[in-house]
Amino acid sequence: VHSYEKYNDLDTINAWSANIAAQNPSLVSLSQIGTSYQGRPMYLLKVGKSGTNKKAVFIDCGFHAREWVSPAFCQWFVKEAVNNYGRDAQFTNLLNNLDFYVLPVVNVDGYVHSWTTYRMWRKTLSVNKNSACLGTDLNRNFNAGWCTTGTSKNPCDDTYCGTAPESEKETKALADFIRSNIGSIKAYLTIHSYLQMLLFPYSYTKSLAKDHNELNTVAKGAVSALTSLYGTQYTYGPGASTIYPASGGSDDWAYDAGVKYSYTFELRDKGRYGFALPESQIKPTCEETMLAVKYIANYVMKNA
């Protein structure tokens, strides 16, 4: 049975997605953007009041299988949208003026594997030629300095970049969706854990992004909104200098594809529990993260 304050398995998340769309037809719609290596559907929720020429914010969760608080946040976000529409003026305004594309679990095969077989799994589950090791790191598989730094060419490593950019079906499905909607998507938010960081391009190079100053200012505002709730400390900055240089990431790719407001969240905590964040922290983590996401969305609504 589904709960916003527990970790839900993939079947429960998929059933929840279908339900929340069916219960809120004027606000939420469900589609499928692709199919995983093992044949699982990749579902996408579109959240917003219908309108013409709306700008959109794309949010994905569950890139890395073991980062369970990430899919929990995507579910929380959709719940808050549905519950606050028509009640909270700020959220109503956001949903009237923007569409949010929410992809609750990108790495569906990996997520299932982290539930059934190995809790600390990260990658996909695709078979690698001439290797007994499975999977590619989806966040090293995008066409952004692909396989040049902070990544591995060894299929047995957790940061294996794959055989080519977008070699993974999941990467291709996500990139195809963004390319198809590049005219409307103004922000790309990808939710990971853990380390309490808000990162923006670049990670594949130490060069600063053309929009560095604006991205930094927006990050600062988003982090201060987040911290205002419970005092949770976040650091922010370009990926390469804030976390580590690493190429092939979706944030850098989306930015170079033309999505200016491109951010990676690394949610709680800073390592005490790490990926095994207790369920008691789902609610506070999601509530504080909502403030940062709404801050960015408001900025995009007014400035993009």
Contacts to ligand 0X9 by CB under 6 A: 64, 67, 139, 192, 199, 203, 239, 243, 246, 249, 251-252, 264, 266
We find the least distance from the C-beta atom of residue 235 to ligand 0X9, in angstroms, to be 13
162 or 239, CB closer to ligand 0X9?
239
- Give yes or no for residue 64 binding Zn ion (CB under 5 A): yes
DSSP state letters, the chain = ---TTS---HHHHHHHHHHHHHH-TTTEEEEEEEE-TTS-EEEEEEES---SS-EEEEEEE-SSTT-THHHHHHHHHHHHHHHHTTTSHHHHHHHHHEEEEEES-S-HHHHHHHHHT-TT--S--PBPTT-S-B---GGG-SSSSTTSSS-BS-TTSTTB--SSTT-SHHHHHHHHHHHHTTTTEEEEEEEEESSSEEEES-SS-SSPPTTHHHHHHHHHHHHHHHHHHH----EEEEHHHHT----S-HHHHHHHHT-SEEEEEEES-SSSSGGG--GGGHHHHHHHHHHHHHHHHHHHHHH-
Residue 10 binds which one of Zn ion, ligand 0X9, none, with CB within 5 to 8 A depending on kind?
A: none
64 or 268, CB closer to ligand 0X9?
64
186 or 198, CB closer to Zn ion?
198
- Give yes or no for residue 192 binding Zn ion (CB under 5 A): yes
Q: Beta 261-267 vs 185-193: how paired, if at all?
A: parallel
Q: Which residues are catalytic?
A: 266
Residue 282 binds which one of ligand 0X9, Zn ion, none, with CB within 5 to 8 A depending on kind?
A: none
Residue 109 binds which one of ligand 0X9, Zn ion, none, with CB within 5 to 8 A depending on kind?
A: none
- Give yes or no for residue 140 binding Zn ion (CB under 5 A): no
192 or 260, CB closer to Zn ion?
192
Residue 168 binds which one of Zn ion, ligand 0X9, none, with CB within 5 to 8 A depending on kind?
A: none
We find the least distance from the C-beta atom of residue 193 to Zn ion, in angstroms, to be 7
80 or 266, CB closer to ligand 0X9?
266
We find the least distance from the C-beta atom of residue 92 to Zn ion, in angstroms, to be 14
We find the least distance from the C-beta atom of residue 75 to ligand 0X9, in angstroms, to be 19
In one-letter notation, the amino acid at residue 235 is T
We find the least distance from the C-beta atom of residue 183 to Zn ion, in angstroms, to be 28
If we measure between CA atoms, which residue out of 165, 242, 233 comes closest to residue 200? 242
We find the least distance from the C-beta atom of residue 104 to ligand 0X9, in angstroms, to be 17
48 or 245, CB closer to ligand 0X9?
245
Q: 188 — phi, psi (to 5°)?
A: -125, 115
**Total residues at interface with Zn ion (CB under 5 A):** 3
Which residue blocks in 181-238 are alpha helix, DSSP H? 212-230
Reduced to 3 states (helix: H, G, I; strand: E, B; else coil), residue 200 is: strand
Q: Write out the residues near Zn ion by the rule CB under 5 A.
A: 64, 67, 192
